[in-house]
Amino acid sequence: MIPAFENYLRHHSQLTEPEIARICSLALQRKLKRNESLLIAGEICRHKVFIVSGVLRTYSVSGDGSEPILQFSQENSWAIDAESYDQQQPSRYNIAAVEPSEVLLWHKRDFDTLLAEFPGLKKYAEQLISRNIYISRQRLLAALSATPEEKYGDFANNYPDLLSRLPLRMIAAYLGISLKTLTRIRHAQWAR
């Protein structure tokens, strides 16, 4: 797992080899089974999580039992409940593996130490936060104004590799549409 993360850092940051080694030395490796939870609503998010392989979903559970999905995180990306992590307060969200996954975790105390030690890591973390804000804003705008067909089209264009890896019910929950509507959209596209 660590070599894949080292390569990720080499390609996405300006960190030196000793800095990369130090970051990796504080990582905890964990394998998750399908549907295994990494964070349960009510717990405090205490780790930064990097996905080496697999897919995680961040979701909530509504009063009616439905599970709206806020985000999918796949290999070479990060997963965290930022509000719970930053404030050290109970999370309103769950994070669980959609498929068998391998992740690296850093305890908040350790990651904060790394950010203080390595300005390059802090700069990279800030770039990731900015990018996530932009993506979240685009997703919010789509949720407010796009048709179901447009939502699905954006998802298919932005995450084509996830289409075959995710159950349709999860894609529908992410898009905020019913499974019936998603099925209709997909059938209409196949009929073309």
Domain boundaries, the chain: 2-144, 146-192
The alpha carbons of the chain give a radius of gyration, in whole angstroms, of 18
What are the pLDDT digits (tens) for 29-62? 999 999 999 999 999 999 999 999 999 999 999 9
The tens-digit pLDDT sequence of the chain (192 residues) is: 789 999 999 999 999 999 999 999 999 999 999 999 999 999 999 999 999 999 999 999 999 999 999 999 999 999 999 999 999 999 999 999 999 999 999 999 999 999 999 999 999 999 999 999 999 999 999 889 999 999 999 999 999 999 999 999 999 999 999 999 999 999 887 766
- Cα of first residue to Cα of last residue in the chain, in angstroms, is 42
Query: Rounded distance, CA 140 to CA 146, Å?
Result: 10
Our CA angle for 138, 142, 145, nearest 5°, is 135
How far are the Cα atoms of 26, 30, 40, 170 from residue 100, in angstroms, in the given order? 23, 11, 18, 16
For 146, list phi and psi in degrees, rounded to 5: -85, 150
**What pLDDT is attached to residue 188?**
86
The domain defined by 2-144 folds into Jelly Rolls (2.60.120)
Given a contact cutoff of 8 angstroms between Cβ atoms, the answer to whether 125 and 13 are in contact is no
